[in-house]
């Protein structure tokens, strides 16, 4: 059913480098129960040490930064992670505005004519992933809201069926 293929590009390695630059690794290592140098080694693609699944989960939970998970998913040609626990009615407007803001920022960078540096690339990819995540949470919220009221869903289906010939 699914055909996961490992990408030729080093998405996870790039995510590890970007994560290391974005966080205080001493604090993250302490929260994950390891020494800071060990975490640095595990985030360095040139080192033989690698993060375990439990460490990856602990780091993501502590930092609430999905960059490592997204890099892992990109490595197998999958879309970014989506935390469905953020899908609440109160987040709908926030998700819509966040997605719009990220897309606008990406558009601004695309037309800026700046030289594409590693930092610019990371900013664009982070914004694109955040936009996808926000749109996915928005879609999940709308779906769950719609299906949580069966009468509303049934009414909508009846109205849609009976009005298709009117337009």
pLDDT per position as a tens digit, 23-57: 999 999 999 999 999 999 999 999 999 999 999 99
Residue 34 tokens, joined = 């390891």
Does the pTM surpass 0.85? The reply is: no
**What CA–CA distances, in Å, run from 18 to 3, 41, 106?**
28, 14, 18
Q: Report pLDDT digits (tens) over 92-139.
A: 888 889 999 999 999 998 888 888 888 888 889 889 999 998 898 888
| Angle, CA 70 vertex, CA 21 and CA 97 arms, to 5° | 90
Residue 154 tokens, joined = 């049934």
Mean of the per-residue pLDDT values of the chain: 85
Q: Which helix (H) or strand (E) holds 102?
A: helix 92-111
Contact between 134 and 102 (Cβ < 8 Å)? yes
């Amino acid at each position: 059913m699914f055909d996961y293929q490992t990408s030729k590009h080093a998405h996870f390695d790039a995510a590890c480098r970007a994560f290391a630059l974005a966080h205080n690794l001493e604090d993250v290592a302490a929260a994950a129960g390891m020494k800071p140098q060990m975490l640095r080694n595990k985030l360095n693609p040139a080192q033989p040490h690698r993060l375990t699944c439990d460490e990856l989960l602990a780091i993501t939970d502590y930092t609430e930064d999905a960059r490592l998970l997204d890099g892992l998913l990109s490595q197998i040609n999958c879309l970014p992670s989506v935390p469905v626990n953020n899908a609440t009615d109160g987040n709908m407007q926030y998700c819509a505005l966040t997605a719009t803001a990220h897309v606008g920022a990406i558009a601004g960078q695309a037309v800026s004519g700046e030289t594409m540096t590693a930092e610019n690339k990371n900013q664009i990819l982070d914004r694109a992933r955040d936009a996808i995540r926000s749109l996915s949470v928005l879609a999940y919220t709308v779906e769950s809201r719609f299906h949580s009221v069966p009468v509303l869903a049934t009414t909508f289906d009846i109205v849609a069926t009976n009005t298709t010939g009117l337009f």
